[in-house]
Every structure is written in C-alpha cells, then in structure tokens.
Amino acid sequence: MKVRFILFFSVLANLLYSQLLDGDFANYTLADTLRGSMRPERTAFDVSYYDLYLLVDFEKKEIAGYNDIYYQAQSDFKRLQIDLFDNMRIDSIIFAGQSLNFERVFNAVFIDFAEAQLKGSSSMFRVYYHGKPIIAENPPWDGGFTWQKDKKGNDWLGVSCEGIGASLWWPNKDHLSDEPDSMSVTCTIPADLTFVGNGTLEADVLLAENKRSMTWKVHYPINNYNISLNIGKYVNFQDSYIAQDGEKLLLDYWVMPYNLEKAKVQFKQVQPMLGCYETYFGKFPFWKDNYKLVETPYLGMEHQTAIAYGNDYKKGYAGFDFSRIGLDFDYIIIHESGHEYWGNLISCKDAADLWIHESFCTYSEALYVECMFDFNKGQEYVNAKKATVDNLMPIAGVYGVNAEGDGDMYNKGMLFLNTLRHVVDKDELWFAILKEMTSKEFAYKTIDAKDLISFFKERTKLNLDPIFEQYLYSNKLPKLYYHVEKLKGKEYAIHYKWLTDAEGFEMPLELEVGTTTIRLEGNNTLQTFTFNKKKKEALNLNDTKFYIDLKEY
C-alpha cells in the first residue's frame, strides 16, 4: 500500500502541472491515470517493434506465450511501465539473459532494470505471460475475446479491444501516442484452423501434435488496438484494385466456406470504394500489407489491413438502412475501410481525441456517397443523420485518463466537418487540405487536436479556434439568434448574432431569398443586414450546409 500512495502523489503532481489535461479529475482513479497519462516511466522509451508469440487453447479459452519488446531509450532510466490486465499472469521478464524485478499497480507493470539504460540506446526485453483474456459480452463495443463456433461447429475466434486497450490480452506500452514502427504476430493453433492477422503472411508451418504455426507481419506503424487475432475455418479468395497510377493492390478476403459465394458478390463494393477514397485521400496507405476483409463473429472493426467484417452480407447496417435515405451500400465495408486513413494512417495521441478517428471516418462515408452519386446526395446523407445526434456531452474527451468523448463524435463530427467545408467555401482548397493530411502532413503519425487545428488555420488563413472549440468542447450547437423585420415595400432587415460558449466566435451564415443566396459574416455581436424580397419569394436560413441551431426572437 505504501508504494501505491507514493505513486499516487507522483501521478497527481504530473497531472496538476500538465497543460494537456483537462476535466474533472474527481471522476477518475489512479488506475485511469496509469492507463492514460504519459508519465516518465512511459516517456523514457519509444517502442520500435513488437514480436508476439502465442499458443491459443480453444478448450481452456486461454493463451500463453511471450512478447519481445524492442525499444529506444528517450532518456536515461532504470524503471519503465508496460501494461497488461491484472487477470493475465506475467511469468517472467527477461533482459540480456537476466530476470528483471517488476511490480503491478492495477493493470500497470513497472519494470526495474539493474543498470541505467542510457538515452539513445536500443535494446529488447521479453515478457512471458499466460491467462484467460476477458471475454467480450457485446463485441466490438465491449472489448475482449469472442470464442465462438461457426455454423458448422468449428472453433472461431475474434478479438476486439478499442477503448479498453490491447493490454487486455498482450503486454505492451498501451498508450495511443506510441505506435511500433512494425510488428509481427505468431500463433500456434489447431492444424485444421487458420490464423489471419494484420499485414502479410510470413510463415505457415505444420507442427507435431496436429498443430500449426502461422506468422503475420505488419510493415507500417500500427496502433495497438488494431492488432487482432482471427482464427477459424477460413477459405481465401483474392481480387485486385488498379490505382490511378496503374499499380495493382491485392484484395485479400478470408471468409467462412459457407459464405464464399455471398462474399464474392458483396465484396465487389470494395473496388469503387477504394477509387473514391483514392480520389479524396490518396492511394491506399498500407500498400505492402494489402487490403483485407476478414469475416468475424462480431459486427466489425477497423483492424489495420485485416478489417473485421461481420455484417452478414446484408445491406446497410445488419440489414438496417443506415443511410436513412434509401442507399443500400454495406456500411461496415465503407465505414471500416475509411478508418484505414482516419484512425490507422492518422492516429490520435490520446483517447480524448478519438473524435479525429470517428468524425473524419464518418465524413468519409458522406464523401463516398458524393463520389458515387453527386454533391446533393452527399449533403442529403449528411443531414439525414441530424436526428441521431443527442448533443448531451462534448465529442472531445479528457486528456490523460484514457477517456474518449461522447458517441456523437460519429455523426455530429461528420456534420461539423461538413460545416467546416462550407465555412472554408472553397472546395478546391478543402479537398487539398484533406489530401495533404493523409498524403503528407500527418501520414503514419499520431496527432492531437492542437496539431490538427493549427494545420487547418494555417492552410485556410481563418480564425478557426472558436469554431473548433464550440463543436468539440461544448455540447451546444452555435445558436443563430435572429429576427426578420419588414421595413417598407420590398425592403427587409435581418438582425442576427451567434450565441455560443466559445468567445470570439465568428462563422458565416447563408440567407436564401428566393433563388438568391446571400452569404453574411456573423459573430457574437448583434448585426443588421437589409435586403429586398418580393412578396412570393421564400426566405430561408441555410441549416443544411451548416449544422446550427436557429432561434428566432
């Protein structure tokens, strides 16, 4: 207990003096700060590579193995922190042939080195462990292992752990800010099953005792929750996508045998989708690792280059018209593939900024619709989602405690980005900004809200801080407080101002008079604009391009 109290005050001191952290910390525990904060035991080292070896036991629902953690010291240290849930047992930690001492504090594991590790040095330590990973009760929203039987009675395993963290099943530095440059996973499984992992298949070896060892390797940076196990009685078929420069991308599909023919039809949606995403965001970002869809016993997840697909080959979202406007595309294919750019290629540094993943990815759905149909259909898709937004809590979370924002980050985030597009009001610039983000500025990097907002401000030359503040950190929409006054004859006046939590808020609005659109600049002070309107002309304030609240007084 003494160690925990000392550690608590050390954590508290770091939190009090960190400008990144915000929110009411009375709601969070020491376990939350150990999971979510970048303390010296974490900042001291940068992970370059994970090499994970596992034996998977379906009968006992257990795993056992080890992880080799390669790192570079960012400062001198003798103690570092990794993470592994406390229901999983660490057998030993080996460094340079010697066993290291370690202690657990909740799900954090503090490792003590006998000698100081010097800044700039590179090395590796191995963590042996075993246990029964948490079983997901409602995957993928509730993280853990999904042990299941397929329709033919064969063993089938899927793993999903976004939010709760990869440390629920393997030891790692479980913080979004530190992605390994690459990774490999080797699984020993029953010989009649197949393990499908992230990246490319590097080895497939039959072993004694009716076992099989398969190794998949990722050749790019990857966030930890994207690493997954898919083990089952899979069959494989392949296709290809030809990029705009003529290069061929392998499309690699792993499905249940009884769904093979369905999959061959359903997955035809992939090629035109990749064409749309290439137009807006550039070439598929993980070219060496191929594009994969892997059938899973749960609905779906954005596992990098091994996208979990469990939509049962239905239209929309498990058969529901998720578009709300009569479109029948497979939502899981389109949405989870969008994450290859937004969330996988560009990743947030802290769970508080998970809105970057989900808002931009959901917006990519709207651009897919615009690409496949036209601008108006894309706008119809965006605005159809207004009814799903609650606006009860902000979509940004709290830094340093592994706390994401509200679920509105999906559809409200899409509506916000659509609004931002019309604030910029120059589509050539808007789409250049998106492509620069994915092709250059933030590609294969972890970023935070500050990075993103600064980039948008620099490229647009607009004061966007109050706009981002209002949509991300307040649960209230910008409210346009207005009154239309008839003056004389055809002359009218509109009196208006923005009511916002964010100070210094400036955002345009559009007044539609008949077939004429008048763009006005608005802020937090009352303004007046006079205009002419014929008797039969309709008067409207545009709330389709702008996600706002209208309040007439």
In the chain, what is the greatest distance between 2 CA atoms, to the nearest angstrom?
Answer: 94
> What domains lie within the chain, and their CATH numbers?
43-225 (2.60.40.1730), 269-286+309-473 (1.10.390.10), 479-552 (2.60.40.1840)
CA distance 255 to 73: 42
Strands (E), 96-153: 98-99, 101-105, 108-117, 122-131, 144-149
CA distance 125 to 208: 29
- For residues 281 and 439, the answer to whether their CB atoms sit within 8 Å is yes
Backbone dihedral angles phi then psi of residue 104, each to the nearest 5 degrees: -100, 140
Count Cβ atoms within 10 A of the Cβ of residue 172 and give its class: 0-12 exposed, 13-18 middle, 19 or more buried: buried
Q: Where are the alpha helices (DSSP H) in 299-353?
A: 331-338
Tell me the pairing of strands 479-486 and 194-196: unpaired
Helices 427-436 and 449-460: angle between axes, nearest 10 degrees: 140
What amino acid occupies position 207?
A: L
Q: Give the pLDDT score at 11.
A: 36
Which residues touch 515 (CB under 8 Å, ≥6 apart)?
Answer: none
CA distance 254 to 221: 23
Tell me the two tokens of residue 364: 């990519």
Q: Give the pLDDT score at 27.
A: 85
Q: Output the CA–CA distances (angstroms, integers) from residue 251 to 284, 288, 305, 368, 406, in the order listed.
A: 11, 12, 10, 19, 34
pTM of the model: 0.94
CA distance 544 to 524: 21
> Which residue has 């916000």 as its token pair?
416
Tell me the two tokens of residue 325: 């406007």
Q: Which residues of the chain have pLDDT under 50?
A: 1-23, 25
Tell me the two tokens of residue 228: 């997954």
CA angle, 9 then 12 then 15, to 5°: 155
* Cβ burial 9-30 (10 Å sphere, 16+ → b, else e): eebeebbeeeeebebebeebeb
What amino acid occupies position 529?
A: F
- For residues 495 and 526, the answer to whether their CB atoms sit within 8 Å is yes
Q: Output the CA–CA distances (angstroms, integers) from residue 338 to 12, 363, 414, in the order listed.
A: 38, 9, 13
- For residues 507 and 498, the answer to whether their CB atoms sit within 8 Å is yes
Helix or strand (DSSP H, E) at 376: helix 375-384
Q: Give the pLDDT score at 1.
A: 36
Helices 331-338 and 354-372: angle between axes, nearest 10 degrees: 130
* Dihedral angle over CA of 129, 309, 356, 173, nearest 10: 10
Q: Which of 186, 85, 83, 66 is nearest to 133 (CA)?
A: 85
**Residue 373 per-residue DSSP state:** S
Q: Give the pLDDT score at 67.
A: 98
Count Cβ atoms within 10 A of the Cβ of residue 124 and give its class: 0-12 exposed, 13-18 middle, 19 or more buried: middle
Tell me the two tokens of residue 474: 């307040």
296 HSE (CA, 13 A, CB side): 29
Tell me the two tokens of residue 139: 């995957």
Q: Give the pLDDT score at 466.
A: 98
Q: Give the pLDDT score at 2.
A: 32
CA distance 333 to 347: 20
DSSP of 179-211, one letter per residue?
Answer: --SEEEEEEEEETTSEEE-SSEEEEEEEETTTE
CA distance 237 to 212: 21
Which residues touch 511 (CB under 8 Å, ≥6 apart)?
Answer: 494, 517, 518, 519, 520, 529, 531, 539, 540, 541, 542
CA distance 253 to 233: 13
What amino acid occupies position 398?
A: V
CA distance 183 to 227: 9
**Residue 257 per-residue DSSP state:** G
